[in-house]
């Protein structure tokens, strides 16, 4: 079984404390060993006991306290990084964190010889302003939370989702082919369309328009974002509540490639 030695783990605290204390004890015995031949049996026993207990009590306590504080600091830094990268309303990534993670993935794939594929979806809530106007901003916030939950419910563990605008979400699907990407997009659209959203007992159907593009080979976040945003515009122009997906990749965007 592998011990967790990450900065936030108790395994690291215990391992460093034990190793450091053992080192202190070894140093104490080594330094004092030059006097051992001249000591009586009783004095030798006391010296060895001192060489053992003093580093154990003082060094062990100091190391444990130090590592415990370092662990607390690591946990605080981790929590702060999570808060800084998360949209406070929907609990998905914010725009900055989303774009940074996607670009980091794409940059990594550009350095590798093997061909990588994937897709980017942009999901926009239809007629969201009217929801705020008719039901209030609190209901609009609840609608965004429901939409975010529905999106996350259709994704795999390695997929990335973020809120990239007021009522706009981005989904990055690494390692998927165009047909599977369209299936994911359509499942998100249907799931949101089928949700029961009735603020104050008044039915308020939700729907989204989704634009998407696939890629196969080197690309950048900006390139696939522009291509997906173009498809989103097509979905909204054609009546909303639909998926417009370009299966040919970000670099080739013929209008005839739109899939509804």
Domain boundaries, the chain: 10-84, 95-246
pLDDT digits (tens, 9 = 90+) for 162-181: 999 889 999 999 999 889 99
Average pLDDT, rounded, for the chain: 88
For range 139-158, the mean pLDDT: 93
Strand, helix or coil for residue 140:
helix
Q: How confident is the model at residue 115 (pLDDT cuts 50, 70, 90)?
A: low
**Number of C-beta neighbours around residue 246 at 10 A:** 28
In the chain, the percentage of residues whose pLDDT exceeds 70 is: 93
Task: Convert the pLDDT of each residue in 240-258 to its tens digit.
Answer: 999 999 887 644 433 333 3
Predicted TM-score (pTM) of the model is 0.71
Of 167, 168, 194, 222, which is the active-site residue? Answer: 167
> Among the residues of 33-159, which ranges form H helices?
41-54, 60-85, 95-110, 128-135, 137-153
What radius of gyration, in Å, describes the C-alpha atoms of the chain? 29
Element (H, E) at 169: strand 168-174
Cβ-proximal residues to 24 (8 Å cutoff; 6+ apart), any chain? 55, 56, 59, 60
- Report the pLDDT averaged over residues 188-192: 96
Q: Render pLDDT for 44-81 as a digit per residue (tens, 0 to 9).
A: 999 999 999 999 999 999 999 999 999 988 888 877 77
Reply yes or no on whether 222 is catalytic.
Answer: no
The pLDDT of residue 113 = 65
Once rounded to an integer, what is the mean pLDDT over residues 195-216? 90
Domain boundaries 95-246, CATH class: alpha beta
Residue 190 has pLDDT above 60, yes or no: yes
Q: Give the closest residue to 119 by CA, choosing from 149, 154, 150, 159.
A: 159
For residue 89, give both structure tokens.
Answer: 């309303």
| Residue 142, pLDDT above cutoff 50 | yes
Q: Which residue shows structure tokens 């039901």?
A: 135
- Which DSSP letter does residue 156 get? -
The pair phi, psi for residue 167, each rounded to 5°, is -125, 30
Q: Which residue has the tokens 């609990």?
A: 91
Check whether 155 has a pLDDT greater than 80: yes
Instruction: Report the alpha-carbon distance of residue 56 to residue 123 in Å, rounded.
Output: 60
Query: Tokens 């794409």, residue?
Result: 106
């Amino acid at each position: 079984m592998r011990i967790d030695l990450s900065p936030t783990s108790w395994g690291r605290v215990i391992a460093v404390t034990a190793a450091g204390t053992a080192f202190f004890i070894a140093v104490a015995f080594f330094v004092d060993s030059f006097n051992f031949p001249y000591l009586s049996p009783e004095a030798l026993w006391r010296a060895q006991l001192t060489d053992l207990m003093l580093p154990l009590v003082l060094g062990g306590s100091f190391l444990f306290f130090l590592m415990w504080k370092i662990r607390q600091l690591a946990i605080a830094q981790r929590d702060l990084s999570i808060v800084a990268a998360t949209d406070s309303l929907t609990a998905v990534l914010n725009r900055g964190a989303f774009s940074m993670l996607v670009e980091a993935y794409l940059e990594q794939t550009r350095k590798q010889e093997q061909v990588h594929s994937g897709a980017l979806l942009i999901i926009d809530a239809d007629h969201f302003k009217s929801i705020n106007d008719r039901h209030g901003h609190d209901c609009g916030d609840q609608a965004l939370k429901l939409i975010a939950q529905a999106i996350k419910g259709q994704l795999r563990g390695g997929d990335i989702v973020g809120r990239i605008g007021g009522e706009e979400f981005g989904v990055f699907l690494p390692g998927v082919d165009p047909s599977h990407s369209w299936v994911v997009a359509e499942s998100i659209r249907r799931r949101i369309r089928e949700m029961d959203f009735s603020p104050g007992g008044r039915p308020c159907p939700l729907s989204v328009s989704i634009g998407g593009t696939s890629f196969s080979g080197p690309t950048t976040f900006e390139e696939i974002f522009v291509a997906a945003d173009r498809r989103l515009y097509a979905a909204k122009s054609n009546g909303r509540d639909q998926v417009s997906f370009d299966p040919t990749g970000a670099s080739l965007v013929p209008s005839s490639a739109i899939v509804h």
